[in-house]
Amino acid sequence: MALIDLLKWVVFKLVTGFLYLMYKMFAPSRSHLVGKKVPPVSDPLLLVSAKQLATKIRRKEVTSVEVVQAYIDRIQEINPLLNAIVVERFDEALKEAALVDKLIEEETGGEEVLEDRLPLLGVPLSVKESYAVQGMPITGGLVFRKDVIASVDSPPVAWLKRAGAIPIGVTNTPELCMWGESHNHLYGITNNPYDLSRTPGGSSGGEGSIVGGAGSVIGIGSDIAGSIRMPCFFNGIFGHKTTPGVVTSEHQYPPTTGRHEEYVSNGPMCRYAEDLLPVLKIMAGPNAHMLNLDEKVDLKTLRYFTIPDDCGALLVAPVSKELIDIQKKVVQRLEEDLGVKVEEVRFPELRHSVQMWNTYMNLPDRNGKPAEPFNEILGEPGHPVRPVWELLKWLVGRSTHTFASIGLALQEMTVSKPSPFILQQKEKLQKALEELLGTDGVFLYPAHPRVAPITHHPLFRPLDFAYTGVINVLGLPVTQCPLGLNKDGIPLGVQVGAGKMQDRLSLEVALYLEKAFGGWKEPEAA
């Protein structure tokens, strides 16, 4: 180990040791939640995909009111345990469902007309609170924004509503959507349905939690460092990080600044793989044609690659044996079922994933305008947050910000000029992957070094987002796929990535993996 690497390792251990001490001293105990799960599903309507629900509603086999009420009942049963839905709109949703049922009764054009115009007619939808939903809060988890109400819908929400979906509530995030857990002092902390003592991830953790707990069938999230994929992995559901620039980020909070617009992605989060593509197509609006989602994909003609790990990044945890083993099982099934060869590849540049992400997130946009500093957004509308002072306030219980957000503001103070070496490593990795994947290649890559951690423990392993974050700066589409549960009943999974604009390839692989490994499993099914 080089001297500089040894020094980094020592400093990292000291910092994480300090965080652990602070956690033990000041964080309330959650030991009573260990191993506790949400109750099993009792209503069979909750075990039907959104696509199938829409068909049943159009055919009058079930009413939209019955479906929406079933999900309201489930949310009322599990949300006190999860704190995933932070503001509901149950009364409005039921009224909208009644209008759907009336529309179906009066429709004279037939089922096909409704399917074409309103493919999600009558289906309930949960929405990450960072998206504007007219009449609902859009706070970014900040206490000072508690009274901010959206006056319009963000375009993806508007298009989903226009397709017939019915929002039933908005879901929790960390402050400014910039942490791997969904915790803030406005709404509190969200729990994982498979073990209430574990994190559901962030920043789309509320979405992951409520969908994984069968309190919603489809939801939408955003992703700039793994904010769709980590919650989907931790909560055992499917999610898709779209190729950047396809699904607009308009009317979301916080707004994207600097290079963020190039690396943020928006996409669907679903319990059933067959819902990913139709929801994505609707969310993309006029840009949907860019992805050629209607083009057929023959899995047997694709080229497959597996990337086992990041080649041993110094400050990132090694991938656990159970995740290494499950990825190997995916490789084995692909080869046996499809008759393909899955080639193992390694990229030493992945050791620098964290540095790549930090570097590119802090670059100015193409016009030279820098990203707005985190501490300034955190302190709006007043003065920027002073991180050291805020930490002292937190120690005596007077801060309105979480320890994680304060830590991020402190970390921002250490950001230095871009390293030519890191810029070179990223460009080298980008070129190698683009040449490897082309238009017919897909790859497997761990979503995280371990399954869903105990709540607050990401504070001690803050760089483990490297496995998802690097994909953002590479601009590649990825579908997160569940692969069953481990011996403790906690979800396993893998990222399936493809070349830019080749989203349909990973979405097709997701359909295959759902059949091969069973897809979403109920929390009580362990």
pLDDT above 90: residue 380: no
- Tell me: do 298 and 355 sit in the same domain: yes
Give the percent of the chain with pLDDT over 70. 95
Is pLDDT at 176 greater than 90 in this prediction? yes
pLDDT (average), residues 252-278:
94
What per-residue confidence (pLDDT) applies to 24? Answer: 67
> Does residue 28 fall inside a structural domain?
no
Classify residue 35: in a domain, yes or no. Answer: no
pLDDT in tens, 324-355: 999 999 999 999 999 999 999 999 999 999 99
Are 387 and 356 within one domain? Answer: no
pLDDT at 223 exceeding the cut of 70: yes
Query: Is the pLDDT reported for residue 71 higher than 90?
Result: yes
Q: How far apart are CA 439 and CA 266, in angstroms?
A: 22
Q: What is the pLDDT of residue 7?
A: 64
Residue 514 within any structural domain of the chain: yes
Q: Tens of pLDDT along 481-506?
A: 999 999 999 999 999 999 999 999 99
- 240 with 107, same domain? yes
Closest CA to 453 of 180, 178, 179, 84: 180
CA distance 480 to 243: 14
> Do residues 291 and 383 share a domain?
no
Residue 334 and residue 311 share a domain: yes
Whether residue 484 is contained in a domain is answered as: yes
Q: Are 193 and 77 in contact (CB under 8 A)?
A: no
Q: What is the dihedral of CA 173, 246, 467, 313, to 10 degrees?
A: -120
Predicted confidence at residue 469, as pLDDT, reads 98
Residue 34: other Cβ atoms inside 10 A: 11
Contact between 40 and 213 (Cβ < 8 Å): no
Which residue's entry shows tokens 């953002």?
472
Decide: 126 and 167 in contact? Cβ < 8 Å. Answer: yes
Do 182 and 304 share a domain, yes or no? yes
Average pLDDT over residues 397-414: 91
Same domain as 397, residue 451 = no
- Please indicate, yes or no, whether residues 434 and 408 belong to a single structural domain of this protein: no
Domain final residue, candidates 398, 417, 436: 417
Geometric angle at alpha carbon 277, from 276 and 282, rounded to 5°? 105
Whether residue 75 is contained in a domain is answered as yes
Query: Which amino acid is present at 282?
Result: I
Percent of the chain topping pLDDT 90:
84
Comparing 289 with 459, the larger pLDDT belongs to 289
Domain holding 60: CATH number?
Answer: 3.90.1300.10
The answer on 500 and 404 residing in a single domain is: no
- Looking at 417, 445, 479, the residue that finishes a domain is 417
HSE value, Cβ hemisphere, 13 Å, CA-based, for 500 = 14
Catalytic residue numbers read: 128, 203, 227
The strands making up 166-171's β-sheet, listed across from edge to edge, are 85-88, 166-171, 124-128, 218-223, 265-270, 238-241, 478-485, 491-498, 441-445, 303-306, 342-344
For the chain, the average pLDDT equals: 94
Query: What phi and psi, each to the nearest 5 degrees, are found at residue 331?
Result: -60, -45
Is 18 part of any domain?
no
Compute the chain's Rg from CA coordinates: 22
Label the pairing between strands 238-241 and 166-171.
Answer: unpaired
- Range in 6-20, 283-297, 307-321 with the lowest mean pLDDT: 6-20
Q: Please report whether residue 293 resides in a domain.
A: yes
Query: Is a pLDDT exceeding 70 seen at residue 23?
Result: no
Per residue, the 3-state secondary structure of 154-209, as one string, reads: CHHHHHHHHCCCEEEEEECCCHHHCCCCCEECCCEECCECCECCECCCCCCHHHHH
Are 275 and 384 part of one and the same domain?
A: no
Question: What are phi and psi for residue 109, nearest 5 degrees?
Answer: -85, -10
Question: Given phi > 0 = left and psi -120 to 50 = alpha, else beta, which region is 360?
Answer: alpha
Of 209, 228, 131, the residue nearest 471 (C-alpha): 228
Copy the structure tokens of residue 523: 């929390």
C-alpha–C-alpha distance, residues 273 and 114, integer Å = 22
Quote the pLDDT of residue 526.
Answer: 45
Looking up tokens 């099934």 gives 333
Answer whether 140's CB lies under 8 Å from 176's CB: yes
Of the residues 355, 388, 417, which one is the last residue of a structural domain? 417
Domain that residue 382 falls in: 372-417
Label residue 13 by pLDDT band (50, 70, 90): low
Q: Mean pLDDT throughout 192-197?
A: 98
- Residue 411 — pLDDT band, cuts 50, 70, 90? confident
User: Which pLDDT belongs to residue 525?
Assistant: 55
Same domain, residue pair 138 and 49: yes
Please report the pLDDT score of residue 107 as a whole number: 87
Instruction: Give the pLDDT band (50/70/90) at residue 28.
Output: confident
Mean pLDDT of all residues in 308-320: 96
If asked whether residues 299 and 397 sit together in one domain, one would say no
- When pLDDT is averaged across residues 262-276 and rounded to a whole number, the result is 97
**Residue 134 included in any domain:** yes
Number of domains in the chain: 2
- Which residues, 6 or more positions from 95, have their beta carbon under 8 angstroms from its beta carbon? none
